[in-house]
Amino acid sequence: MNLPQLCFATNNAHKLSEVRQLLAGQYDVVSLADIGCFDELPETQKTLEGNALQKARYVKDHFGVDCFADDTGLEVEALGGAPGVYSARYAGPARDSQQNMAKLLQELEGKPNRRARFRTCIALIQGNQELLFDGIVAGEILRAQRGAAGFGYDPVFRPEHKTRSFAEMPADEKNRISHRGRAVAALITHLKAEK
C-alpha cells in the first residue's frame, strides 16, 4: 500500500525520527534531503507560530510540495517564559544542548518555582491552505540532568504526574505525552478528516 507523502520541513534528525514514528503507517514522511532541499531554513520570527510558518512557506515556495514545519520552545515560569522561541540557541548561536541546559540550570539556581512547559507549534501547508496546530506539556525543570535518551532539554524536564524525565523514558512513552506528540496528534486528526 502506498502511503500519502508529506514533507517535514526540518533539518533536525531527532525531530524527523520522532515524527516518523508518530505518523508510521499513516503517512510517508519525507525529509528535506528527500526533496533536494539542503538549505538552512529561516527562523527569524519572534514567535513559535511565526517560525513554523516561515519554514513551511519557504519549502512550499521553493520546492512546491505540501509540507509541515514545527518550532518548539521551553517556557519556564520563573524566567518569564524564557527561553521560549530562543530555546535552541539559548546559550548562544552554537546551539549546543549541553550549554543550553547549563545556562538554564544556572539561571534557576536558588529559585523554588521550577514550573515549565514545552510547547510545539506545527504549521501545515496543503495547497493554498495554511493551518496551525499546538501541543503543550506541563512539568518542571529538574535540578540536574537525568537520563540519556531524547534530545534538547529532555534530561532536565520532568512532565507533570511523572517520576522520570523525558530522557529517562522510552521513545514510545515520551511520544504519547510529549508536546510534539500532542501537536502531531492534532495534525493527524486534521489530515484524517481531509481524506
Please report, in range form, the residues annotated as the binding site: 10-15, 71-72, 151-154, 174, 179-180
What residues form the annotated binding site for substrate? 10-15, 72, 151-154, 174, 179-180
Identify the burial level of 86 via C-beta atoms within 10 angstroms of its C-beta, where 0-12 means exposed, 13-18 middle and 19 or more buried.
middle
- Reply yes or no on whether 61 is catalytic: no
Q: Please give the torsion angle defined by the CA atoms of residues 29, 192, 69 and 131, in that order, rounded to the nearest 10 degrees.
A: 160
Catalytic residue among 28, 66, 71, 172: 71
What residues form the annotated binding site for Mg(2+)? 71
What are phi and psi for residue 4, nearest 5 degrees?
Answer: -65, 145
Identify which of 31, 29, 22 has the alpha carbon closest to the alpha carbon of residue 4.
29
Q: Are 19 and 29 in contact (CB under 8 A)?
A: yes
What are phi and psi for residue 125, nearest 5 degrees?
Answer: -120, 115
Q: Is 147 left (phi over 0), alpha (psi -120 to 50) or beta?
A: left
Cell of 174: 515520551
Q: What is the Cα–Cα distance from 9 to 29, expressed in whole angstroms?
A: 10
Catalytic residues: 71
